[in-house]
Amino acid sequence: MKHFFNRKDSIVTEALDGFLATAGSGTLARLDGYPEVKVVLRADWDKMKVAVVSGGGAGHEPSHAGFVGAGMLTAAVSGEIFASPSVEAVLAAIRATTGPAGCLLIVKNYTGDRLNFGLAAEKARAEGFAVEMVIVGDDIALPDIAQPRGVAGTLFVHKIAGHLSETGHDLASVAASARAAAKDIVSLGISLSSCSLPGQTHEDRFGADDGELGLGIHGEPGVERIAMQSAGKLVTIMAERLAARLDAGSRYALLINNLGSVPPLEMSLIANAVLSSPLAKSVTMTMGPGHLMTALNMNGFSLSLIKLDTEREAALLAPVDPHAWLPAKPVRAPVVVVMAKPGSRNIKAASRNADAERLITAVCEKLISLEEALNGLDAKTGDGDTGSTVATGARGVLDRIDTLPLADKAATLAAIGDTLGTSMGGSSGVLLSIFFTAAAQALGGGAPLGKALIAGLDRMVFYGGAKIGDRTMVDALEPALKALDTGGLEAATGAARHGAEATAAMRKAKAGRSAYIGRQLDIADPGAFAVAEVFAAVAATFAPA
């Protein structure tokens, strides 16, 4: 796995400085103890309030520095990647932020964090600071373990304690609420790959068709290997285990956390799966989905829930300064707006016109007969489906010929445009639908047929972007329509043939899929070739006996 970094020993300090430089706020700062002391803190802090300090190893961004600000953390202490911060760094944070109101340390339940934050707390107390510590162990992956890990549910405690501090509560009440909250949080994670560390060789322990359930935020192995299956089934497994730890009848807040590299599309799908599971009946508000406490680039996610009461709900809903915090939102079913009906248009009834029917039939049958030839031409420059696409559109028109208002030229062109737009598919179908639709409007507005067809071409060129010389159907269609307008069908047929042949000599296509071929093509463009064949078929159909 590749990473962007300069030196292993400066990754964290450079990242923290980048964060501070782009935070857009003059209310954040760092202590000057780099590289040993890595502390981000509030520059606007009022020491008459309880300081709320947390932290841990780097690699969990935006945790923890991303949550420093009004309403959340007073300071965040960072270690190196996945390494606990030093005692000296934690102590420096306490000294910098703690006044008469005291300090609460929020610590995830890992041995290094407990020891280093704990020793710093004892030293701070010896210096006369009032310090309390709450330890969060929200991971339920191993239900019988005496010391469960602290994972993303810790963020609930950050938010609750930060709100209580901001609103003037004393240290005892902030600490008591934080401890009670920590006991009412459950979390569980799942991943399809392990994370990789910058500058270290990475060997993914996962198989091609499995993932891990219940893994930690430092890449620790999960409690069990789990076979790859649909997202809904994976979420169901997690939901069942989480639901078993919830109190029946209680309300919960749900935090949906991206562990690193799950695309936003998949995270929203996961959110939908969770809120469609039985777990949803207990959830009244959500945070996420998004990056909150990551594990570098782990391809996984975690779900955390906290039991709500009035105080916790108010705390979670309170606005905060840190942009990394994703505001709590009430659960809402998707709002579905009824689609507007098509604007009123005078739909003409089917009518007969022998010449129009002969013309349409000749064109469609010619295009259907060219299916294999056009696919062959397209296979040399694209995905070989031009013939099939064009033939599908032609069949669609033929299937509906008995419903067309053939006695009304404008209405017929509009109906053909509608048919090609829905049955033909691909960009060719859309372009031809634009052509016929715009031509119908011009014809209905009084333009003669030749001028109306040119008006349709103008709209097709405007939206499609291709022009003469770009090696597309326009190279045959434009000269043919102009010749038709001024010189009649025979002239149009010759112009179309000449335009199609010219595309074979064009060294480089400038539009369409052929534009991605970086060499001389030496074959006619399939769209231009089809246009020439259509004009030839029409000329043959209406040639004098």
- DSSP result, 298-335: BSEEEEEEEE--HHHHHHHHS--S-TTS---EE--PPP
Q: What is the 3-state secondary structure of 215-227? A: CCCCCCCCCEEEE
Given the residues 218, 291, 323, 498, select the one marked as catalytic. Answer: 218
Residue 342 CB burial class (10 angstroms; 0-12, 13-18, ≥19): exposed
Spell out a b/e string for 117-137, using b for 16 or more CB atoms within 10 Å of the CB, else e: bbebbebbeeeebbbbbbbbb
Backbone angles phi, psi at 227, to 5 degrees: -70, 145
Mode of pairing for the β-strands spanning 252-258 and 329-330: unpaired
245-275 core/surface letters (b: 16 or more CB in 10 A; e: else): ebeeeeebbbbbbbbbbbeeeebebbbebbb
Matching residue, tokens 């008006």: 455
**C-alpha distances in angstroms, 525 versus 30, 139, 480?**
63, 61, 16
Q: What is the CA radius of gyration of the chain?
A: 34
Dump the DSSP string for 116-138. HHHHHHHHHHHTT--EEEEEE--
Q: Give the Cα separation of 362 and 359 in Å (integer).
A: 5
218 an active-site residue? yes
Report the DSSP beta bridge partners of residue 106. 54, 134
The tokens describing 298, both together, are 């782990």
Residue 332 CB burial class (10 angstroms; 0-12, 13-18, ≥19):
exposed
Amino acid at 464: G
Q: What is the Cα–Cα distance from 141 to 304, expressed in whole angstroms?
A: 12
Residue positions annotated with a catalytic role: 218
